[in-house]
A and B are shown apart, each in its own frame.
Chain A
């Protein structure tokens, strides 16, 4: 018996599905209340008009669009990281992939809500669909918002498939252990999975295809989100750096969200045996790299604007650098650059607690970055006569708080109904993962790497 993962592992994974704890109900109740408050705030806004938010002339985009960009950024945690780790066959990815992919799907669903919440007439949002109608008009394909609509829908569809495909064998595992209505539900969800060699081969090749296909989609999504800003001739928006800057920021905030989620799951579900310090160490290194990359982009963006000294842009530049927005700007720099580098560049502080502290800083800092992109530019457009000053209202803050609660709620529900660590992938790593294979070497769950048993085919 060379395997390190045996029956207790599957039990550990299936336990949250079968047993419901008091904590589950407490979290659902608490976050559900906040979500309900946010829904009420949105209903209030729908009834009275978008004027109950703080948006004004000339700051027509503000907190909702900030949250839109922020959540789409968070969504780059999962699918992108998971796909890269799959393609390079990194052995340590196995307990991380699903934790990450779920963040993508939920963050995308939440992020995609914001452009609709933000619309003046959200009940007409479906006009962005190109469908033959009595209006006899297509969406305007020259508009970056139309590109956005298609990019986000493509990414959401792809991410959903990427998440759902590898869940099928795990649904079958639960089906085989469950009784009553659970057996029925999970039986339907497992699409008749029997674990034949043919089915495994199909799943593996489908995952390979998805992992390759999702990468360009993920990169293009946040590039197109950045085009919403960089295509408009607004001071400090109209910049060629925005595409890569947004993608790097998205992956940066995504890794931070992933680390926080992993630490929470580790504590909440008792997964100390599976989510190891090694995973945090590896992701911490990745976060450190992205932090340096982020600092590089900000330096580039700021230096060229300052040196170019174009007077429309300088108004925005100084407002963020040493004016009204300076406290937020320097908080962002500390949270995104100083704190992560201080904590993560030192192997002694790059432990689980250190990674979580740095990640919390990054999430705050990246939210501020999105805010500082959207608002100061619109406050200071080219005509000084038409400058304005935006302040958020309670309605906007309620809705924003509700989306954070919604993320926790959806995540809790998901971890309740689906094994949050891919059972079969862990087992496959244990069984057939050849040791010392490139980047994939060093699977932390293997103890005996010398005598790997030959593939036994079905693992369920």
Chain B
């Protein structure tokens, strides 16, 4: 065999088996990651109190500092403040550590008043962590599984490129009227090629972001294993310990923020605003105020800008600027986090992520149909199909059920109970989708796609009934986060209806073929698909 053919053959099996082994995880990660691109917009949909005109200037001296005094915060605790923005309209204050922590409070920046938040983790608290940890926190196992999947994805992309003899031709070949297996492969190739840069960007940057988890010992070798030395030199962090001597709590933070923003704006040439504030050693003589600027509005790169002030004297103690290679790493992180403001760029990345999910799903479907044609025994077919259906449509349906639960569950459930109930709904629906797929076998795809369509059409109605924000209302009020979420959900419903009808049509055609020719598959059709 020619060496190039032999290499292509080895890339073919690598692509197939690595893809099959991790396609379920990869689909979940890409799906949840795509949803996370607009997580703060979805949060506004899930938390009606967070809707409304965005006010980005707020006085922490008038809102947060009085609340801290009332809340008996001690010097051993760390206080953080997430500043409001167009995407995150509420001001959030958190306190962790100590006996009475963690504490959380939300303020409406327009009125300065504290807001009682809906009991939900929201998209940023559930979909987002799911995409990098799968919510498996035991020994950080979820991070490792996702890391393995990310590395596999990079390998899949490389091996996928080598497999294709006619990469340009594949780019323009989509034959939706051909046999389902053929059109599935066409769709796999197109989604793979059109969004190729994103298929490389997302896993590569994801691995980079969590490199300290995967390669902790090695990455810390230059620092002799001292993690604090690394975070200080690379990211400018340092430990602030209380002296143990009580002092008056910090009286003003607004002035520090104003000065820090002016420094960053003049340095970068684009408007820069503080988005994360920390108050360390509160009420101690060594109390410090840390002003961070991590998500620039008009830059892809995440900023590592951090200015530290002494709370008592008001003196600037640190003005950290990362070194060039760290900046390159920050660009990669920024390209993954997508916290920048231009919406159209984030839409591009959102569709890039969805194309990744579609590519993974079509790859799995193509492999499954190829196996069925090769005469896999009925029990194995049933198992493989149930796993595929549950991993793809089950995951999408469960995500929709999570949104429905958010609008249906009573608001007066105490504590985090309501939030955990939403999560319970998600996992129950996901689990049920596997059971349903095992029972319904071939019809499971169509059933579940119809369920997804139903959920998608019901969700905006429930949003309207529970909040009064009908689509026309949210558009007329300029609540684009809510209106956009409704529109995307409705569009998903339309797509699901189309898919369900197409599946029905395919089933009819296949049934007619089976009646005419009892032996499955024709030689001509088989020859049109490259051998695995």
Are A and B bound to each other? no
